[in-house]
Amino acid sequence: MTPLEIKGAVAAVVTSVVILVATFTAGGIYRNHRGGETELGGKPLVAEDLAAKGRGFFLRSCAQCHGRDADGGEDAPSLLNLQISGAHMTLVIQSGIKGEMPSFSKKYDAQDTAAIVAYLKGVNKSGVKPPGTHL
């Protein structure tokens, strides 16, 4: 290897290390800042509360097409027997489906989307609404 190639390889390694350190540092800061899913007042949301909050969002934005109980409607399929991960649900809610479903990324932040996903996961486990979400 020529001296120029060695300098290039060292520069690449140093740059990679700096990027990794910055990424992990930023992730730690974000995690410490966020602390976990919380409601106003700083109390942690339990899974049941998160699902109840998600049902409220679902009723406002999704029920018109997917039905009040996520059992489907004229314009959209049932969400009761979904075989997709929570990450995939989040992606679909945030990005939409071109020509079929709008994106909700401007309406719901990551925490709100997590609440909707928690509600849908609860519905998918049992086929019924999660406890505490009776309306």
- pLDDT per residue as tens digits for the range 61-110: 999 999 998 999 888 999 988 888 999 999 999 999 999 999 999 999 99
Q: Which residues pair with residue 38 across a beta bridge? A: 44
Q: Are 119 and 39 in contact (CB under 8 A)?
A: no
Q: What is the pLDDT of residue 45?
A: 61
Helices 47-61 and 110-126 meet at what angle, rounded to 10? 100
Average pLDDT over residues 53-63: 94
Distance (Å, rounded) from C-alpha 5 to C-alpha 21? Answer: 24
Q: Which residues pair with residue 97 across a beta bridge? A: 101
* Least confident interval from 26-40, 47-61, 62-76, 97-111: 26-40
Q: What is the pLDDT of residue 20?
A: 85
Its pTM surpasses 0.85: no
